[in-house]
Chains A and B, each alone.
Chain A
Amino acid sequence: DGGITQSPKYLFRKEGQNVTLSCEQNLNHDAMYWYRQDPGQGLRLIYYSQIVNDFQKGDIAEGYSVSREKKESFPLTVTSAQKNPTAFYLCASSIQPNTGELFFGEGSRLTVL
């Protein structure tokens, strides 16, 4: 079955540590996205990638980094520079950039202790 897989589902981190969230898709979609969701807030775009080896900052990119070395993979690193990293992180993809619906992964919940 095609879909988007995020891992880990739950992650705990100490302050000052970097952590990488995995996102893999086998839908053959060109575009991939990372969103952050906080209670009472809408989904906010962190980074997006329209094609392999290219990515763009979203609305809240500070303290995050990404890579897109393969079409299927778009990992997100939450660095120690991110001041409030505790959140629910959602990865998504779409067939082409800026068209069609988004398909979401199951999410990764990061808690900083």
Chain B
Amino acid sequence: GQNIDQPTEMTATEGAIVQINCTYQTSGFNGLFWYQQHAGEAPTFLSYNVLDGLEEKGRFSSFLSRSKGYSYLLLKELQMKDSASYLCAVRDPDGGSQGNLIFGKGTKLSVKP
């Protein structure tokens, strides 16, 4: 089967660092994506990992371990505008999704002053 797990909610303080974890169990693997979605708006692309390791992009970094079926999104120097849901999605070329992205339920992050 296919399953993607993320924490439902997290809270952090402005200026701090937060790590949002994502674990996945899929038949195959061809990339992991992170999206940010503000309430009532469209998801926007944050990062893409297909090889093990850390990808850094400004205040945001994403890590992947394919052997562990694990990824995290790291947000540094948190700002109030980072309050949003963060969606983890995996591309599984071998499962029933015909290679389309499979999304987790999202992690709602609240940043407090």
Interface size class of B (residues with CB under 8 A): 20 to 34
Complex: A107 Cα to B39 Cα, angstroms: 11
Is B42 a contact partner of A43 (Cβ separation < 8 A)? no
Question: Contact flags (1/0) for B63-98 with A, using CB distance below 8 Å?
Answer: 000000000000000000000000101010100111
A1 — which chain B residues lie within 8 A by C-beta?
none
Assess whether B11 is interfacial by the CB under 8 Å rule.
Answer: no
Is A98 a contact partner of B91 (Cβ separation < 8 A)? yes
A40 — which chain B residues lie within 8 A by C-beta?
8, 105
B106 — which chain A residues lie within 8 A by C-beta?
42
Is B100 a contact partner of A45 (Cβ separation < 8 A)? yes
- Number of A interface residues at 8 Å Cβ cutoff, please give it: 24
Assess whether A64 is interfacial by the CB under 8 Å rule.
Answer: no
Is A90 a contact partner of B43 (Cβ separation < 8 A)? yes
A35 — which chain B residues lie within 8 A by C-beta?
103
Is A104 a contact partner of B100 (Cβ separation < 8 A)? no
Interface of B is mostly: loop
Complex: A45 Cα to B30 Cα, angstroms: 18
Question: Contact flags (1/0) for A24-53 with B, using CB distance below 8 Å?
Answer: 000000000101000011111100100000
Nearest-CB distance from A100 to chain B (Å)? 8
Assess whether B44 is interfacial by the CB under 8 Å rule.
Answer: yes
Is A43 a contact partner of B87 (Cβ separation < 8 A)? yes
Nearest-CB distance from A8 to chain B (Å)? 14
Is B97 a contact partner of A42 (Cβ separation < 8 A)? no
CB < 8 Å neighbour of B104 from A42, A88, A104, A105? A42
Nearest-CB distance from A1 to chain B (Å)? 15
CB < 8 Å neighbour of B98 from A44, A56, A104, A107? A56
B96 — which chain A residues lie within 8 A by C-beta?
59
CB < 8 Å neighbour of A104 from B4, B8, B44, B48? B44
Told that A43-B43, A103-B45 touch, could you supply 12 new A-B pairs with CB distance under 8 A?
A33-B100, A43-B87, A43-B89, A58-B100, A59-B96, A98-B30, A101-B45, A102-B43, A104-B42, A104-B43, A105-B42, A107-B40
